Structure 1
Amino acid sequence: MIDAINRLPVLSFLWPRMLWLMALLLVLAAAYVWLDGRRRRTAVEYPALKTVGLATRRGAGWRRHVAPLLFLVALAALTFAIARPQAVLTLPSRLDTVVLVIDLSGSMRAKDVAPTRIRAAQVAAKHLVDAQPSGVKVAIVAMAGTAAVAQAPTRSKEEATAAIERLQPQGGTALGNGMLVALTTLLPQTAGDVQRLMNEEDLPRRPQGADVNADTDAVAPGSYAPGAIVVFSDGESNAGPAAMQAAELAAAHGVRVYTVGVGTAEGVVLSVDGWSARVKLDETVLKQVANATGADYFRIEDASGMKKVYRSLGTRLAFDKRDQVEVTAFFAALGALLAACAGMLSLWWFGRVV
C-alpha cells in the first residue's frame, strides 16, 4: 500500500499563486451551508411555503446536496487547471532496436535454474522478443570467450526466436566483449571506441556535456531513447575488457544496458569435461552495469521469477521514459465533466440547474 502511494505522481505548478483562488471555494461552501440553514429555518417558520417549492421537497433528502457538492469539486479542479499543474509521468518509449546479449559460457550449463541457466535465459529472451511491438527491431549477440552477432537487427520475431534457439553453450566468458559488440550493433558509429577498448587502449576524454552523436539526445546515462541492450548472464567473466569499461562507454552514449542475472547466489557444483567447480551468480557486476547506464537489474532463479522478469523488463522497455508533463487539460476536462454531471443531476431530480 505504501509503495503504491509512493509511486503516485507528485504535482507541481507553473502558476502556484493561482491556488489562492481555492480560498474562494471555502467562501462558497460556507455560503451554501448558510443558505441551506436559512432555507430550513424558513420552512419551519412558514410551513405554507412548502406548497410553492421554497422549502425542501419531500423525499429529496441527501440528493439536494449532491449537485452543489459536485459543482464545488468541479470548481476545485478548474482552479487546479488555472494553476497549470505538472506531474512526472512514465511515458511510452520511442524504442526502435533492442539488442539481446546471451551468455553461452560453461557456467550457464548449471542446473540451479531449471532446466539449465542457458535454457532459462533463452526462454526469457524469446518471451521478451514476443512482447515487443511489431515495429521494434531485435538483434541477438552470442557471448562466450568472444562475442559475435548471431542475428542482425530484424523486425521478424520468427528470425530472432530461431537465432535464440540455435545458441549452444561454449567455453569462456567475455562479458565486456558481449556488451561492446551489442553497442556497435546498436550504434555503428561507436566502432572506433569499441576497437580501442578491445585493444586495451585508453579512450579519449569527452568534455562534460558534449554531444556524442546526432542521434543521442544527451550524454546523460539512459538518454538514448531509440535503443537498449539486454544482457542475460550469470555475471562471471574471465576474458576481454572489463564489463564496467564497456558499461561506461555505453553510458557515455546514453545507451541503457539492462542486466538479467541467471542463477542462484548459492550456486551449484558443475562438472564439465573432467573439471568441477562451484558456479555462483555474480550479481555485483551486473548491478553495477545497470546502475552505470541508467537501467535496471533483474534476476531469474526459477520459473516464476522468469515470468516476472520478462513482464517487468517488457514494461520497462515499452514505458521507459519519465518526464515532467503539464496536466492542465486533465483537470480542465475533469472540472467540465463534474460541472455537467452536477447540472444534469439537478435537472433530473429537481427540474432545475444547480
Structure 2
Amino acid sequence: MFEFAWPWVFLLAPLPWLLRRLLPAADSGEAALNISFIAELQHLTGQHARARLPSWRQQLPFVLLWGLLLLATARPQWLGAPLPMPASGRDLLLAVDVSGSMDYADMRWEDQQVSRLSLVKQLLGDFIEGRQGDRVGLILFGSRAYLQSPLTFDRQTVRFWLDEAQQNIAGPQTAIGDAIGLAVKRLRQRPADSRVLVLVTDGANNSGELDPLLAARLAADEQIRIYTIGIGADPQEDGVLGMFGFNPSLDLDETSLRAIAEASGGEYFRARDSQELQRIEATLDRLEPVAQNPTLARPSLPLYPWPLSAALLLSLLLVARTLWPGLSQRLRAVANRYPRRPS
C-alpha cells in the first residue's frame, strides 16, 4: 500500500507565492533611470508600475522543482503486509558485579588461572548467545549501578558490552541494592510472568542507597524473579595461604543473596569453579519461557530517493541553462583570440 509518512508537508505548497506577495522586490543591482514625475504619468494613464513576472513557461521548471522537493519531503513509502515479530521469550536482565574484588584470580578456565570477571565474561557470554527469542539487557554495578545495555533482541551487542566491562569501572565497592532497584525500574514496564533478573556478585552490599532485601521485596511486588549467583573459590587447603586458613570468598554474603532470591521467588546458586557456573547456566536455561503478545510490524520501502533525484537533476539542468550563454561567449572569445592555423 502506498502512503505518505508526512502528508501535511503539502500544506507548504503555496509558500513561494506567499513569500513573493509579502516580501519586497529584490534589488537587481543594475542602474535604473529615476523620473521625478513618474507618479503623475501613472495617475494620468490610470496604470501603475508592476514588477514584470516571468511567463508561465519560464516558471514551470521552478514549480516542478518545488513540487518534487515537497514530494520527497512528504516521505512516500510502500508498506507491505503486517508480519509477526518473534516475542515469545523472557525479558532477562543480567546484573554483573564489576567491583575491585572481581579481579581476584581464584578461578580456573581451560587449565589456566583466571579472574572471576574473566570467567563470568566467558560463560555468561555463551549464556547470552543462547537466549534466542529473549530480550536481554546488561547492568554493571560497583559502588553504583549503571544500565550498560537496555533490553534488546540484539544479543551480540549485549555480549560485546559484557566483554568490554572492566573491574572498578563503576567503583570499587558493591551496591547490590541499587542494581536490583535499577532492574526493577527497567523491567516493571514489561509483561508480567516474563521478568527475570540474574545477579552475579562475589561480595556483600557495602555501598548504594537501597537495601538489598527491600529492593528484593519491590521486585517481588512487580513479579520479577531474581536468581542470585555467588562466585568465588573455596578456602585453599594447601600452600602458604592455606596454612593460615585464607578464604578468598570471605566477603561473599550468601545469607543475603539467598534471602534476596527467596523473597522474589527465584533461587540462589553458588559458583566455586567453572564447572559449577556452567551447571548454573544450564539450570537457568531450563526456565520455561512465557508467551508474550506477538507484535506486528509492516515492512516499508522508502520511495523518496526518486523524486529527490529528479529534483537534483532538474536543478542541475537549470543551472547549466543559466550558465551556458556566458560560457559559450567566453569559449567563442577564446577561439577568436587564438584562431586555428592553416595546416
SS of 2:287's partner is helix
Report the equivalent of 1:169: 167
Report the equivalent of 1:304: 275
Report the equivalent of 2:125: 126
Q: Is the 8 A contact 2:90 2:195 kept in 1?
A: yes
Q: Deviations over 1:221-242 (max 9, x none)?
A: xxx3122110011142211122
Report the equivalent of 1:107: 101
Q: Is residue 181 from structure 1 mapped to residue 182 from structure 2 by the alignment?
A: yes
SS of 2:269's partner is strand
Residue 96 of structure 1 and its aligned partner are, at CA, apart by 3.1
Q: Is the 8 A contact 2:105 2:116 kept in 1?
A: yes
SS of 2:257's partner is helix
Q: Is the 8 A contact 1:94 1:225 kept in 2?
A: no
Q: Is the 8 A contact 1:101 1:232 kept in 2?
A: yes
C-alpha distance in 2, partners of 1:97/1:154?
9
Report the equivalent of 2:205: 237
C-alpha distance in 2, partners of 1:124/1:295?
20
What are the within-5 Å matches in structure 2 for residues 77-156 of structure 1?
Answer: 95-114=89-108, 115-133=114-132, 135-156=133-154
SS of 2:107's partner is coil
The 1:296/1:94 distance shift into structure 2, 3 A limit, reads farther
What are the within-5 Å matches in structure 2 for residues 281-320 of structure 1?
Answer: 281-316=252-287, 318=289
The 1:162/1:119 distance shift into structure 2, 3 A limit, reads same
Supply the AA of the counterpart residue of 2:184. L
Report the equivalent of 2:339: none
What are the within-5 Å matches in structure 2 for residues 1-354 of structure 1?
Answer: 95-114=89-108, 115-133=114-132, 135-170=133-168, 171-188=172-189, 224-240=192-208, 241-266=210-235, 279-280=249-250, 281-316=252-287, 318=289
Q: Is the 8 A contact 1:234 1:283 kept in 2?
A: no
The 1:94/1:157 distance shift into structure 2, 3 A limit, reads closer
Structure 2 stretches lacking a partner, 5+ long: 1-86, 109-113, 238-245, 292-343
Q: Give TM-score scaled by structure 2 length.
A: 0.51
Report the equivalent of 2:299: none
Residue 94 of structure 1 and its aligned partner are, at CA, apart by 5.6
C-alpha distance in 2, partners of 1:172/1:277?
19
Residue 95 of structure 1 and its aligned partner are, at CA, apart by 3.6
The 1:266/1:260 distance shift into structure 2, 3 A limit, reads same
The 1:267/1:120 distance shift into structure 2, 3 A limit, reads farther
Q: Which moved more, 1:124-133 or 1:98-107?
A: 124-133
C-alpha distance in 2, partners of 1:185/1:228?
11
Q: Is the 8 A contact 1:110 1:279 kept in 2?
A: no
Sequence identity percentage: 25
C-alpha distance in 1, partners of 2:159/2:272?
22
C-alpha distance in 2, partners of 1:118/1:101?
12
Report the equivalent of 1:26: none
Residue 101 of structure 1 and its aligned partner are, at CA, apart by 0.2
C-alpha distance in 2, partners of 1:109/1:186?
29
Q: Is the 8 A contact 1:175 1:235 kept in 2?
A: no
Residue 123 of structure 1 and its aligned partner are, at CA, apart by 2.1
Supply the AA of the counterpart residue of 1:237. N
Q: Deviations over 1:318-341 (max 9, x none)?
A: 489xxxxxxxxxxxxxxxxxxxxx
Q: Give TM-score scaled by structure 1 length.
A: 0.49
Supply the AA of the counterpart residue of 1:230. V
Supply the AA of the counterpart residue of 1:147. A
C-alpha distance in 2, partners of 1:252/1:126?
30
Answer with 1 or 2: which has the greater Rg. 2
C-alpha distance in 2, partners of 1:142/1:242?
18
Aligned length in residues: 189
Residue 279 of structure 1 and its aligned partner are, at CA, apart by 4.7
Structure 1 stretches lacking a partner, 5+ long: 1-92, 189-214, 217-223, 269-275, 321-354
The 1:146/1:302 distance shift into structure 2, 3 A limit, reads same
SS of 2:200's partner is strand
C-alpha distance in 1, partners of 2:236/2:181?
27
The 1:123/1:154 distance shift into structure 2, 3 A limit, reads same
Supply the AA of the counterpart residue of 1:247. A
Residue 265 of structure 1 and its aligned partner are, at CA, apart by 4.5
Residue 312 of structure 1 and its aligned partner are, at CA, apart by 0.9
The 1:305/1:247 distance shift into structure 2, 3 A limit, reads same
Residue 148 of structure 1 and its aligned partner are, at CA, apart by 0.6
Q: Deviations over 1:110-147 (max 9, x none)?
A: 222231111122223212212212x2111000100000
